[in-house]
Amino acid sequence: MKRIMFVCKKNSARSQMAEGFAKTLGKGKIDVTSSGLEASEVRPEAIATMKEIGIDITDQHSKPLSDFQAEDFDVVISLCGCGVNLPTEWVVREVFADWQLDDPAEQPEIFPRVRDEIKERVVQLIESLTAEFTPVG
């Protein structure tokens, strides 16, 4: 089972929504958590936006990246362009990507759009990580 870390600046919105999608859509297929370069609080708008589509992230909380070890994860996804600020051991995992999604905290009206973008990317990520190897021939 692949272990995924979603990381963002404050672990308050984008990475929390990604964790919520991955836990729901990848249940039994992947192990997932999220963190921030610094911890803060999960934004109420993120909770409400996810609740609109039936995913409850009220039990999730913001966690600092420093609470985790890079070697415990196969996949690291930055959602905010903060990949350039991550320690090297985090960007050299089996899979690393920096999705650079807009920050809905600065424009709360874009929460639904950003949520939907995250869902699309999480679905693609789960599919790519759990695809069965099929020999040709």
Question: Measured in whole angstroms, how far is the alpha carbon of residue 100 from the centre of its chain?
Answer: 12
Q: Which residues are catalytic?
A: 8, 80
| Number of CB atoms found within 10 A of residue 131's CB | 8
Q: Select from 34, 17, 5, 2 the least CA-distant residue to 101.
A: 17
| Number of CB atoms found within 10 A of residue 64's CB | 14
HSE (side-chain half, CA atoms, 13 Å) at 54: 2
